[in-house]
Structure formats: C-alpha cells, structure tokens
Amino acid sequence: MRILPALLLLGTALACKTPEQVVRPQPAPAAPARPAWVSVRPVTVDYYVGIGMAPKSRPDHLESAKKNALNDLASEISVNVEGNSLLYTLDRKGQFNESFTNSIRTTTNEQIEGFELADSWESTTEVWTYYQLSKSEHARLKAQRKAQAIGTATDLYRRALASMAQGDLRSAVDQDLRAMLAIKAYWGEKDLVDVDGRQVPLANELYADLQRMAGGVRFAVLPERCQLDLSNRFSRELLISATHRNGTSTQELGQLPLHLSYPGVNGTVTELKATDEEGRLRSTVGRVDPASRARELVVKLDLERLVSPELEPPLVKALIASLTAPELRVPIDVVMPKVHMKSTETNLGQPMGDAGLGVVIREEMTAQGFRFVDRPQEADLLLSLNASSRQGGESAGFFTVYLDVTLNLRDRRSDQVIYEGGQQGVKGVQLAYDKAGLDAYKKAAGQVRKELIPAAIRSVL
C-alpha cells in the first residue's frame, strides 16, 4: 500500500512552510466587563445618581438611555411638601385632584442642571448610561433660580396691588397669576418674603389675594325683582352694576366679564357680556319659561374670561376653578294674563257641552299659569274657540266625520290679534255618525295639546 508514504510526504511539506504562510483565526475582541453600577446602584453622599437603559432595537437607543437616566436622577431628588405651603393647602382642601397635583410636582419642582456623564456601558443588545449631579451644585443652582423667581413674583404682586387700587381687576388678577406661575416650582415650600414691610409666604399670599379679589366683587340690579307680564310683553330690561369692596372703599369695575343665564321657553338662555367703563351693563330678560321651577336670572363673574388664554391654560384653569366666583340671583316673576274664553262647539249641529275642546284648552293654559275669568271686562286676553263637525260619508258600515277647529286670541285692550290658528278636517271614523264625531273631537284634543296651545302660549310670551 502507498497511502503511508503519501501522508509522510504531506507532513514534510507542511513542516517546511514559513510562519507567514500559516493562517490562524483571530480571537474576537473581549467585550468590556459589565460594570458594578449596572447591577448594584451606587450610593454616595455627594451626588444624586441616575441610571438609564435602552434596548439597541430602538432607533433612538442612545437618547432614550440618557432620558431614562435623567428621569431616574430627578426621582432621587426628594421634594417634601411642607406644611402650610400652597401645595399642601390645595391638597388638604381637595381643590386639585391627586393626579393633577402629582403632575405639578413632577413637571415643576425639579429643573435639573449641572449633571454629568459618569460612565456608560453597552452589550450586544443594551445600552446603559450613568449620570450624576453634585448635591451642592444642585442646591446652589436651585437657590439662584428661586431667588430670581421670587424677585419676579414679588414685583408682579406689587403691580397687582397697584392695579386693584385703581379698580383694574382684570390686570390685578393677571399679574397675580403670572406671579404664581413664576414660583410654581416652589409651591411646596413656605419661604417668607418681605412685601412692603410684611413677612408673607408668597405663594399663599398670592392665592389669598386672588380669593380676596374674586370674593370682593359685588353685584346690584335694578329693579331688584324682574316682573314679566302682558303690559311689558313679557320682556324687561335690567341694569346691572359691578363694584369691588375693599375695606371701606368701593370701586366700579369696568370691562368686567359676566355670565348671565335664565330659563327660556326653548331652554336655558345664556349671555356673555362685559360691563362698560362705569361698571354697568344692560340686559333684557324675555321669553322666560313660565313652567320652570327656578325662574331667576343668575349673574356670575366669568373668571375664565377674566384671564389671558396664554397663561398655561390647564394649570390656570384649575386655579381659577378653585376660587369662589361671586354671583347674584334675581327673582323673575312671570304673571300670566287673565283669559276669558268664549267657545262654540257642536257635533253635527248638537252642542258638545263639557265634552268639547274648551275643557282641554282650559286645563293646558291653567297649568301654564293663565287665569280664566267669567267676565270679559276682567280679562287681559279674549279667547274665541269654534269647532264644528260635518259628515264625510259611509263605506262598508263605517261612518266618517270631519272636524274643523279655529282658535283666536286677542288683547282685550288693544283688540290686537295675538294668535290665530286651528285644525281643519280632523277625521273621525266609527259605526255611527255621532260616534265618529266624538272620535274626531278626541283626536283633535291631542293636536290641541301638542300644537295649538303651545303655539298660542309662545305668541303671548
């Protein structure tokens, strides 16, 4: 066999190759060792620590790891809400819901500056970042920001006081709100500041000033009761004035936004108006629903329209909603007219008596406040009702009758027609003509309730 000599020759040839001719696979570079801070969170008295991780499958894994680390860093900076601070007070009163209060803490309490990257590490699937922030540097920067914010807020508060002294409630509220927003990061603290020789917790003082301004608004109306009747065609103009009471002084409030509402025949009537330069406005009340149980004009300070829409709407809206808006309730007396009714109702020439539509009309109008009188000279309105039925023919043992109804309502003093309407050809079918006529009257009664009487009442109001 020649296999053995061949193997010997091959071995000899390989042994004779130079080192450069031998190709050996290079080992892969070793991955950096997993640092201890990835597994065990560092504890240090000098720094706040933030650790963040993001999977490399994310296209923004580097930025995401940094964001997570900074969020972690912020969460380590504990902020205690001090007793008697504004945030503590609002929490206790339940004027902000818990999620909103937490949102304020999260978004406003910490502004992180001066942080630095301490280390980073990545594996084949993850990226880790380690940021730290010097506690002493954080305290210095926070104190600097706070001093600037308090200075701005104090200046705005002084301007608010000056504006209120001139009767400019809108500017005063705007400046107080801007002052509160300037120091919103410190609502959980109760630092005292000097304002015109007084030591006050500024955030609480600003909020209290807003409450004093809103609570000091006073409304007056002439006449004090709004009476609507036929003599004024159920429409009355009212004069509303707005003032602010501060100690012993009273100031007129010009350009004050007001919200007015009252129950109308077609639903709640709402008006958004503002006082003139003298703190007055005129408003006409009319077409009031006489069946409403709460017949009153409600005059209310429109706090939302009092503030600028640019001032962080969600936060400012919650602040404004926690204030008590002053309001005035003006009674509305709807005095419905007296009515004398004359009715002529027949069924195929025979009087209907109490079985006709007159009873239905009296019931419906009385329920709406109208008063029926026996003598025409005592009435404000004269109502004329005419109803008569006529034969329509017979077919297969069924008899048809048609009913014609007319209704007329006039002002007794002016003889002016206020309403005129009716129903023609209301069909009744029965086994006899007289019964068919009664059937027509029954159907007409439903139409009178749903259509004629409501239309007549609307024409009066």
pLDDT at 217 over 50: yes
> What's the CA gap between 83 and 296, in Å, rounded?
43
Angle, CA of 275, 279 and 281, to the nearest 5°? 45
Tokens standing for residue 187: 């609502």
Q: How many CB atoms lie within 10 A of CB 315?
A: 19
The pLDDT value recorded for residue 21 is 54
Please report, for residues 121, 126, 133, 161, the alpha-carbon distance to residue 129 in angstroms, rounded to integers and kept in the order given: 7, 10, 14, 50
**Share above pLDDT 70 across residues of the chain, in percent, rounded to a whole number:** 87
Predicted pLDDT of residue 8: 43
| Close Cβ partners of 38 (under 8 Å, ≥ 6 residues apart) | 51, 121, 128
Q: What is the band of 7 on the pLDDT scale with cuts at 50, 70, 90?
A: very low
* pLDDT, tens only, 224-280: 999 999 989 999 999 999 999 876 778 899 899 999 999 998 899 999 999 999 999
CA distance 143 to 309: 30
In order, the DSSP letters of 54-71 are EETTSTTHHHHHHHHHHH
Number of neighbours of residue 51 by Cβ within 10 angstroms = 21
pLDDT at 35 > cutoff 70 = yes
Domains of the chain and any CATH numbers: 40-135 (3.10.28.20), 137-215 (1.20.58), 219-243+250-303+327-334 (2.60.40), 338-460 (3.30.160.180)
d(CA 271, CA 25): 87
Contact 228, 369 (CB under 8 A): no
The β-bridge relationship of strands 235-246 and 226-228 is unpaired
d(CA 434, CA 334): 42
Give the C-alpha distances (Å, rounded to integers) separating 115 from 66, 73, 138, 262.
11, 9, 9, 59
Confidence category of residue 362, pLDDT binned at 50, 70, 90: very high
Q: DSSP secondary structure string, 342-395?
A: EEEEEETTEE-GGGSHHHHHHHHHHHTT-EE-SSGGG-SEEEEEEEEEEEEEEE
Given a cut of 90, whether residue 438 has pLDDT beyond it is yes
In tens, the pLDDT along 75-106 reads 888 666 666 677 777 766 555 555 455 555 55
Calpha distance 64→67 (Å, rounded): 5
Task: Tell me how far apart the alpha carbons of residues 241 and 385 are, in angstroms, rounded to a whole number.
Answer: 47
- Give pLDDT, residue 65: 94
Residue 114 region by backbone torsions, left for phi larger than 0, else alpha for psi between -120 and 50, else beta = left
